[in-house]
Structure 1
Amino acid sequence: MKLLPLFLTILWLLNVNSQEIAILKYNGGGDWYANPTALPNLIRFCNQNIDTEIEPKPQTVEVGSTEIFQYPFLHMTGHGNVFFTEDEADNLRTYLLSGGFVHIDDNYGMEPYLRKELNKVFPDKEFVEIGADHAIFTTQYEFPKGLPKIHEHDGKRPQALGIFHENRLVLLFTYESDLGDGWEDPEVHNDSEQVRLKALQMGANIIHYAFKN
């Protein structure tokens, strides 16, 4: 019997009702710390509008740490390289299969590195594009066209890509949308209030979905 995964599952079950979220710190040189005002603003929006009681300051946890099991929701972002060791990939897989949820928001440029590393986490799974009829687009706010476009970057259409386990969405990758930039303080990117509101509402949908599923 593998005692470590059993211990982690028990730790997860003890914390499943927690309303804390954390930023996922990874290796490889990518700026995991990007968008420092984004999550605090999203947390404030959720607490004010969808009846969550999330701790105002998100914590930071490393991919390979057992501390990730204290959080039902992990957020990951950045612009560049991502690297997981085999132990880190195993830890993240155990977390996700035990009921955890990860939202990865491409801040621009991390997609090719991320795909390679997620193959270590789930070598038998691939990204599936999430259609506009999925519950994540209606759980609190309506997005009839699916993932909103917040920043242009390469001008490609926004995509919500997911990894599922036993019909549960365990990992969401938002690509060519850049929700996190829309969550930041207004003066950081000078986005309009309308654009920021769309980003925050979509973020609230993601948070609500992760907490309820």
Structure 2
Amino acid sequence: MNRLTHIFVIFLLVFVLIVSPNAEKFEIAQIRYGGGGDWYGDQTAVSNWLKILKKRLGMNVSNQRVVVRLTDRNLYRYPFLYLVGHGNIQLSTAETKSLREYLISGGFLFVNDDYGLDASFRREIKKVFPKKQLKSIPNDHPIYHCFYDLKGLPKIHQHNGDPAQGFGLFHDGRLVVFYAYSSDIGDGLEDKKIHSDDPPHIRQQAARMAVNIITYVLTH
């Protein structure tokens, strides 16, 4: 990102989330789902993510994560949903319908593969949008360059040898789902003591990708 664009993005974020008199604190809502896939994972990641947004972007943020079910009446209060897990995800018919309506109405979903999530997520997101396909997000996509200039989705945690890869689902040309496969951004955002073997530069990459995701969502 060039310097002029960088300054513009900061100005826009400040105006929307700080200067606006009716601005509420930005919140990240973590989805509680069924199926036994550890929906509650990365328990310190969201709060640390919010701190990073406050420090690096000057955003007015909440102090902690919010937990929601897809059928909660207040779902639309949160423009950004976070889903993480190690294994099976299972969405009910009502949850599937609610997520579809939320996404086509302007909401955004970030999915973090904490290893073992891939098969069930692909199955469930196909129920949400039967006629759509997850598409590989190329390394020149704005989500990797809208604030920090990254080479692509960083590999944070070495669960296996698979390369990190970003996938997206689009509706009417808008990216509504960003799926981080074999990267595990959440692990890199957790308290340092939880993954003490992660070197500082890896944690820095996770933080930068996390900032880019939010910047992209709020400016596109």
Settle same-fold status: TM greater than 0.5. yes
**Quick check: 1:65–1:91 contact (8 Å CA) kept in 2?**
no
User: Structure 1 residue 17: deviation in Å?
Assistant: 7.0
User: Structure 1 residue 35: deviation in Å?
Assistant: 1.1
User: In structure 2, what residue type is equivalent to 1:207?
Assistant: I
Q: Which residue of 2 aligns with 1:114?
A: 121
Work out the percentage of aligned pairs sharing the same amino acid: 40
Deviation string for 1:119-148 (max 9, x for gaps)? 1100010100001111100111111x2100
User: Structure 1 residue 21: deviation in Å?
Assistant: 1.7
User: Structure 1 residue 16: deviation in Å?
Assistant: 9.8
**Separation of aligned partners in 1, 2:104 and 2:49:** 26
**Separation of aligned partners in 1, 2:88 and 2:44:** 22
**Separation of aligned partners in 2, 1:37 and 1:135:** 27
1:146 has 2:152 as partner: yes
User: In structure 2, what residue type is equivalent to 1:148?
Assistant: P
Corresponding residue pairs, total: 198
1:75 is paired with a residue of what secondary structure?
A: strand
1:103 has 2:143 as partner: no
1:60 is paired with a residue of what secondary structure?
A: strand
Q: Which residue of 2 aligns with 1:163?
A: 169
User: Structure 1 residue 51: deviation in Å?
Assistant: 2.3
The CA RMSD over aligned residues, in Å, is 1.5
**Quick check: 2:31–2:70 contact (8 Å CA) kept in 1?**
yes
Deviation string for 1:9-29 (max 9, x for gaps)? xxxxxx997622211111111
TM-score after normalising by structure 2: 0.87
Deviates more, 1:16-25 or 1:68-77: 16-25
**Separation of aligned partners in 1, 2:135 and 2:39:** 24
**Separation of aligned partners in 2, 1:168 and 1:54:** 25
User: Structure 1 residue 156: deviation in Å?
Assistant: 0.6
User: In structure 2, what residue type is equivalent to 1:22?
Assistant: A
Q: Any unmatched runs of 5+ in structure 1?
A: 1-14
Choose which of 67, 78, 89 in structure 2 pairs with 1:71.
Answer: 78
**Separation of aligned partners in 1, 2:94 and 2:23:** 23
Deviates more, 1:69-78 or 1:56-65: 56-65
User: In structure 2, what residue type is equivalent to 1:94?
Assistant: E
**Quick check: 2:25–2:62 contact (8 Å CA) kept in 1?**
no
Q: Any unmatched runs of 5+ in structure 2?
A: 1-21
Choose which of 172, 179, 182 in structure 1 pairs with 2:178.
Answer: 172
**Quick check: 2:166–2:180 contact (8 Å CA) kept in 1?**
yes
Structure 1 stretches of 4+ with a deviation exceeding 3 A read 15-18
Deviation string for 1:59-91 (max 9, x for gaps)? 100022232211010101010110111111010
1:125 has 2:121 as partner: no
Specify whether residues 174 and 18 from structure 1 end up closer, same or farther in structure 2 by C-alpha distance, changes over 3 A only: same
**Separation of aligned partners in 2, 1:170 and 1:202:** 17
